[in-house]
Amino acid sequence: MGKLSGKTALVTGASRNMGRAMALRLAADGALVAVHYNSGKDEAEAVVETIRQGGGKAFSVCAELGVPGDVADLFAALEAGLSQHAGATTLNILVNNAGVLGGISPEETTSEQFDRIYAVNAKAPFFLIQRALQNMADGGRIVNISSGLTRTANPDEIAYAMSKGAVEMLALHFAKHLGPRGITVNSVAPGITRNDNPVFSMPEVVTAMASMSAFNRVGEPEDVADVVAFLCSEDARWITGAFIDASGGTLL
């Protein structure tokens, strides 16, 4: 029996990279995991298949975030999947992982780009939490993925960093609001973490990025997923409203 046996979880942006690792880890701990994706259907189904081959339980849900009707669409798919696979629509764990980067200089950032970043990274998590509370059992867990860029500067990611700063406020204020129900709400801030960006295939770039960590390596998706899994477990029952630096000591 895993620590999360009998629990249900939704991980947004779970078709690849850190979200994929989080879905795999929560499923390995016994949770039934809803693997959310926007456009990566094949990748999401591959995550589901990997979980099932390992003896876990999962299903995929598709919804584009940051657009009108996004939360309603996601929860319609989620409730259908939970009913089919769990026999009820109770949700125990919500991981707000989905997000979009900027990569645009401050001078070139348009109003439309700024609004898109905020719609996906900050607005969607707020309303996902709001909607999830209709399904979430007392004692539930909410984890919001922030970024080390709320603590270190990168001028090409100002809008992104601002949106992630807003995400951190979700933990602080929702934690106070939901404390009477025993629901914990926390933020996890990864640093440089290996993903499918081509730069991670360039040894000299990886070496430079690794030098920024106290451990002299770049993060792996599993490094962050393990922190998230802890916060989703009963072991983290006394932690709420917290900011967890999961950057491997970047720029200490």
pLDDT digits (tens, 9 = 90+) for 67-88: 999 999 999 999 999 999 999 9
Helical residues (DSSP H) of the chain, grouped into ranges: 17-28, 41-53, 70-86, 111-118, 124-132, 158-178, 203-210, 221-232
Confidence of residue 252 (pLDDT cuts 50, 70, 90): confident
| Whole-number Cα distances in Å, 224 to 69, 201, 227 | 30, 20, 5
Confidence of residue 103 (pLDDT cuts 50, 70, 90): confident
Q: Determine what percent of the chain is predicted with pLDDT higher than 70.
A: 100
- Least Cα distance to 252 among 220, 218, 225, 215 occurs for 215
pTM, full prediction: 0.96
Q: What is the pLDDT of residue 217?
A: 96
Q: What is the pLDDT of residue 251?
A: 79
Residue 191: both structure tokens together: 């640093």
pLDDT at 170 over 90: yes
Tracing tokens 């998230």 back to the chain, one arrives at 228
- 37 is a catalytic site residue: no
Mean pLDDT of 156-165: 94
Name the active-site residue from 59, 75, 160, 174: 160
Phi/psi for 184 (5° steps) reads: -95, 145
The pLDDT tens digits of the residues spanning 172-214 come to 999 999 999 999 999 999 999 999 888 999 999 999 999 999 9
- Least Cα distance to 63 among 44, 82, 48, 46 occurs for 44
Mean pLDDT of 104-124: 95
Q: What is the pLDDT of residue 1?
A: 72
Q: What is the pLDDT of residue 52?
A: 98
Q: What angle do CA 94, 98, 104 make, to 5 degrees?
A: 150
CA–CA gap between residue 232 and residue 123 (Å, rounded)? 22
CB under 8 Å to 180, separation ≥6 — which residues?
none
The pLDDT tens digits of the residues spanning 214-233 come to 999 999 999 999 999 999 99
Q: What is the pLDDT of residue 212?
A: 93
Q: What is the pLDDT of residue 186?
A: 98
Domains of the chain (ranges; CATH) run 8-246 (3.40.50.720)
